[in-house]
Structure 1
Amino acid sequence: MPSILPDGDPVPADGALPDSALDGLGTRPFAFYVHVPFCVTRCGYCDFNTYTATELGPGASRESYADTAIAEIRLARRVLGATDLPVETVFFGGGTPTLLPPDDLGRILAAIDAEFGLAPGAEVTTEANPESVDEGYLGKLRAAGFNRVSYGMQSAREHVLAVLDRSHTPGRVPQVVDWTREAGFEHVNLDLIYGTPGERDEDWRASLEAALATGPDHVSAYALIVEEGTRLAARVRRGELAAPDDDAMADRYLMAEELLGSYGLRWYEISNWASGPEAACRHNLLYWTGADWWGVGPGAHSHVGGTRWWNVKHPAAHASRLGERLSPAHAREVLETEDRRVERVMLELRLAEGCPVDLLDDTAVRRAIGDGLLEPTPYERGRAVLTLRGRLLADAVVRDLT
């Protein structure tokens, strides 16, 4: 089932933000996230806010979605006023954004440019499933202004893909990466998942090696999380599949660090490796460093100046509200100073640059250094940076430091 939205405070019908959110608007980086909530089938592990054709119901459609997204972009311009807000990054996620025609994705991007303006050199990314694009599609995306593609590869082993309910074959990934390069895309990311029930060490090694053989400049590797309400969770609960093993997960992460590093990819965030700063996902870095962004689409989250809000989750409700020139926001929260500090630590500590030590309890920092969880040298420069062991225990380290 699609994810459940959290509770929060009411949002004005016109989407107006509190003065505290607008204070300093334009001095912080600004980005757009565009959620495209459509999938051909639902993967067994996925709890994202997505809908297949049979789940969608009346009131919304793929064919009308670009117009709905553009209506929200225009709402964003009204809410944020005339402040100059050049958009540094745009990220189309889902769902499967590339189920929409490339012309529709291009129209949405053009609307963002028309209303706000894309900053020079803006990063424009779309997620894609390997089977959802071909040479012609990629050529049109590149011509529309996209310059980065992130493919959901997940694994190079067919039995692992089957457990995840992924529909592509392993051989499809090298082909689409070649097409992507030929189309002129500057950056290609491959998403991998480790810890799937039935995956062995040799399967994970094969997936890493297959990904690297395609020549990506960015790889994301995520530990499988069994989310409640998914088919995978039901299968684990019934005993059909074993739950992911924490020790195996740690071993797989260490293998990823070794192989990706030997290829020349360096970690810059716990689950992300890039060939250099120019290949890092600038959009995600804005999330992790407290920038402003507007999330377009059903269930999308936004953040401006310490105010965070999230849209109604069903595409029909989202389209209906925008059709009436109302905000599609479901609820919001204004983060208090302490909440912002804790959130900053949680996000920035995941980065290779770490976070400022003056955000942390110094006694806890020194203890973590003694336990081999934080690097000692960056501490002397005022930064808290995780060691490799600290990365394996990041959640516990954050809890102790905050």
Structure 2
Amino acid sequence: MDFTVPEELTALGESVARFCETEIIPAMPEYEKKAEFCYPLIAKMGDAGFFGASFPEELGGSAAGFQAVSIIAEEISRLAPEFGYAMNMQAMTCPYTIYNWGTEDQARRFVPDLIAGRKIGMFALSEAGGGSDPAGAMKTTARRDGDVYRLNGSKMWITFSHAADTGVLLAKTDPSAGHKGITAFIVQPKAFEGYTAHPIEMGGLSKSLRSCTVFLDDFPVPVEDRLGEEGQGFRIAMNALEYGRLTVSARLVGLAQAALDASVAFANDRVVGGRPIAQYQMIQQRIADATVAVDAARLMARRIGWTMDRGETSTRIAARSKYFATQTARLAADVAREVFGGYALADEYPVRKISAYIDMLTVGEGSENVQRVLIAEDALGIKDAQRHSMRNKLMGRV
């Protein structure tokens, strides 16, 4: 067992950090001020290869693997948390789902532009009444009409949907069949009429890289853009969420590290009673709590990528990692609020922003309580977390 991070992955993480510091952080305030989607920055990330680690070279990827995806997502979220969503939409839940489940023609048509940042992706599963069972409560329908499907309904909390060129969207082709009546589609919002996206106002989060409510009114999808077979959508969606937990776990670790870094810096600078507050034992105790938790959460998050790189099913470790990363990020944010005191509320410090993104990610790719159920049922022998095989085309598992 070797816990040493390979030199090439260490160098990758350092290059991502430099990119964030030189390209994203200086440019982002202008996009936020105008509330404009930052197409040029997404394109630069694509040019830098950040979205292509889990794709073969013939599609424009680097085939660096899933540990690389984890490292990239962590570093981006540590320094530029709003761009963590790009790792899901441009690298995992949208393009990897198309590559993993689509035909060779679909992969060639859609994946290269997504991972290059030339086109914007989205993944549309959640609905307003879905809660933690979005598939069971799904109302969006897809009706076959000759050479197209007509989609009607709405989706909610869909990241990048106001700017998306390509997306994976789930709808019911057989409303009477429950989960077995769900089908996945590759949608092109800018190519056809019948699609609108209304941004959701969320305090503390980006006004450039947003989540929206999507409305579909007889929105057409060509039959050749169906992803997989009719009725296969639920399995495709659950598999996509597995890959989403890889990036979300890493993003939570990055946010936790950002909160810890800010706390350490502030504790060393802030002087109370004639000495830095870093010298007070209660501050030291809280820093110790967060330091150990972040280290452990990082190991668990990296293990998801390691498992995927071996072509193995990662459901068990992904659920545990997402759960623990959520706990760790919340702890680190709490520590930051305690260390900063009233200064945590000031916009000049990063605590409010970090906390807002942590709060958002605790729900993404399965809430904390959903992970608890998965973990508990698996541990108690009620339901094997690994009961469903995991499709992993990059590693030859189909």
Higher helix share: 2
TM-score normalised by structure 2 residue count: 0.27
Higher strand share: 1
TM-score normalised by structure 1 residue count: 0.26
